[in-house]
Structure 1
């Protein structure tokens, strides 16, 4: 038993530090007492209730997120219990991500350094804040870190089982956040030859199972709403955010997420019509307003890069502690989220460019991580007003690429202790 704890001492230490940090974070921000839910959280609760209580799908939120968050409904839980349960699911995923991150990092650098880099993930304040909310980001990050862990195993062991597991998680990720569908397609296409060579393998059933769940989701959407699609969320997202901002720029108006007649209009239509309205609007804007559409896109990317965490910004002193202490804690942490977002996004983009150009034919797992970072940041331009919510998904992979990059710098080797293979 002592040898077991010695072997996994860094894992246990990570869990202990994570629990201490999130307790301290909650003490400073009173996050668990706020009762203020992110606007999207109610959609996730609604989709869970649709699945478990009414046996139907949700037009915007796919079934896997609903299946996870709605488990309390199986045991007679209330609507409020879904939000409480969501915290514990997020907490487990948050802690598990740090452990996976540590195991990925120690493939490149010494365990002590891998441990320190893993701590950097914990102290990414925006990620910590999201643990308290019924949102997809914490689960989504865990899924992609898990997928890249499997992919790294595949490149080490050269066993199809690990590739099948990795691709399965990539595919399932679109049932958490539908924006992953193009990313999942790219990853599957990249390995299509290997998939065909192993299509009779028992390990292939992991991939077949994930594809079948996606088929179930799309077929359910077709039956309930009229289109064979993962989700309808892309239509109102485009129309109410980047499309609306482009029109505001055209007519010299200030864009407002709250008072947005275009958003009100598209949500007043049925889901199937939303898709048609958004598609037609996109075609027209490409024809007659493409410059302003481009300006809106870059405006959104910049805003998503420089903004702080909106969950923190809304915190109030509900426990009646010293007001000045609460205000200072909240403002300092919010400022940290802004500067972490700016710095980490910049570093993530620079590292991604480096690994995209240098790792296409060698250690391709780092190439794929760089591709993932680039995809997420570029995709963030379709929406705005979400704080650091988009880009913080990339930060764990920025940490991995940063460790890898530093370990390869000869001038830093005496200080950085790269792992000798």
Structure 2
């Protein structure tokens, strides 16, 4: 137990030192670049706190978190600083959770290595310095897996109820997590009747209540029940429009092609209907180009480095800066390629083999799900793949331990 706590403090110290090192080398405190999505999150938070309006793209929970300084009359600058503080807390917490989860399957040494590997995932740290939801989402996701791992270890149904409650809550941070709830319920379908007979059921009901608030508010303001219209917008403007451009042999320009411009002028309900109808038409009449567009997006998301590194500027005119940017971009690109393909291979291996622990099968399913969903969009470097990085690291450690055990057993025989 003492070694366990000691290693946690050591990991925290290494993470803190690494964070300070990057802040100094990359002049993070002097950076002023703001992503378009960051502006969107700021606007959504201002709508919620200053006008009492739910944003059409950003669910209210992430806006509630990001916009907290606005409750006390804070400025936009205060919101950005608050977001960085929250993101860094989530990043540090994720480091420790990766270590704790790995410790459940291996020894102190391998668990410590797992924590170190996540610390040095470049993009996960760089994106923490922007007003984006990735750091919060990764933390909540790894927390959910920690809870489900506790269920496997103790067989206490309350942990499973809390996992589902957290996943439901995550829908109000990133709507993409909604399908994870369905997948988990299908996996534990025999346990569903037990989920509502423990204290964790109260948390599930609270999450459902918050989702209901989001749905009814969206219906009142925009005309239809929806968590967010961001998925509709993303599909039509990135995947569908790109497939149409391939069909007509014209250049894809993000958000600027004629059909995208027309789509963006529609009402939210009309956009939802148009996207659904378009998807059916694409499947019937433009299926090959739809697949091509999807593959192009997957290639882009898998082979690019960190855009959070790329936008850094040499504010202090340091001689080493260009090399530092090149190095971290190259490293993030290499990490993205290696972890993505390793994740795909290990996930398929875990799902196809029978003698694999249930937790690794869930990890594998989550990795494949996020990789598959990320290809709907593009032009964000490795941003959509950093969600899977801690999961792939855990799979590497877990399956590495299993391989050693099988090799040892074979030699003994």
TM score, norm. by length of structure 1: 0.93
| 1:340 corresponds to | 335
- Equivalent residue number for residue 59 of structure 2: 62
Matched position secondary structure for 2:171 = helix
Report 1:20-419 matches (<5 A).
20-257=17-254, 259-322=256-319, 325-358=320-353, 363-410=357-404
1:12: which partner in 2?
A: 9
Structure 1 contact 241–384 (Cα < 8 Å) conserved: yes
Once residues 236 and 262 of structure 1 are traced to their aligned partners in structure 2, the CA distance between those partners, rounded to angstroms, is 12
Gaps of 5+ in 2: 409-413
Bigger Cα displacement from structure 2, 91-100 vs 181-190: 181-190
CA deviation digits over 1:71-107, x for unaligned, max 9?
Answer: 1111111112111100000000000001111000011
Q: Any conservation in 1 of the 2:255–2:261 contact (CA below 8 Å)?
A: no
Alpha carbons 2:350, 2:356 under 8 Å: kept = no
Q: Any idea what SS the aligned residue of 1:126 has?
A: helix
For the Cα contact (< 8 Å) 2:157–2:194, is it kept in 1? no
Please state whether the residue corresponding to 2:199 is helix, strand or coil: coil
SS of residue matched to 1:248: helix
Matching residue of 2:411 = none
Deviation of the 1:192 alpha carbon: 4.1
- Quick one: distance in 1 between partners of 2:222 and 2:33? 31
Q: Distance in 2 between matches of 1:258 and 1:224?
A: 24
Paired residues in the alignment total 408
Answer yes or no: is the 8 Å Cα contact 2:4–2:108 preserved in 1: no
Coordinate RMSD, CA, aligned:
1.7
Structure 1 runs not aligned, ≥5 long: 415-421
Deviation at 1:208, TM superposition (A): 1.3
- CA distance 1:251–1:272, change in 2 (3 Å): same
Q: Compute the displacement of 1:7 (Å).
A: 4.8
Preserved CA contact (<8 Å) 2:218 2:227: yes
Tell me if the contact between 1:30 and 1:317 (Cα under 8 Å) persists in the aligned partners. yes
Moved more, 193-202 or 365-374: 193-202
Distance, in Å, in 2 between the alignment partners of 1:150 and 1:341 is 27
Deviation digits for residues 49-86 of structure 1 (CA, Å, limit 9, x no counterpart): 12222112000000111111111111111112111100
Alpha-carbon shift at residue 365 of structure 1 (Å): 1.4
Further displaced range: 66-75 or 257-266 = 257-266
**Displacement, 1:362?**
5.2
Note if contact 1:309-1:337 (Cα within 8 Å) is conserved in structure 2: yes
Residues 200-247 of structure 1 deviation map (CA, whole Å, 9 limit, x = unaligned): 322211111111111111111111111111111111111110111101
SS of match in other structure, 1:401 = helix
